[in-house]
Amino acid sequence: MIPLLVHSKNFFINDQGLKVEYSKPSLSCFYDKEAYEGYLNTCLMLPNYETCGQAKYEMHICGDKNKVKQLEKKSK
């Protein structure tokens, strides 16, 4: 039996009405869909927008322990 890795695809529509498809990232901290999509939106002009969005999220959200706590409280 061969295990298959399935990456769930997510979609969001940005302010200009563009439908963007992305894979849910594996992050080093709590995942907040709305915040992550905001960072993706700032990277859409780049060919590797998912990598850019994940790097920004990791830097600005995961690097700030207070922000992670806020997001965890928001999700409850």
Ordered per-residue pLDDT tens for the chain, 76 residues: 444 444 568 888 888 888 888 888 888 888 888 999 999 999 999 999 999 999 999 999 888 888 888 877 777 6
pLDDT score at 4: 41
Provide the 10 A C-beta neighbour count for residue 1.
Answer: 3
pTM of the model: 0.74
Identify whether the C-beta of residue 38 lies closer than 8 Å to the C-beta of residue 56. no
Most distant CA pair in the chain, distance = 45
Residues 13 and 20 sit within 8 Å (Cβ to Cβ): yes
pLDDT at 71: 77
As a residue count, the chain comes to 76
List the structure tokens of 38: 């905001």
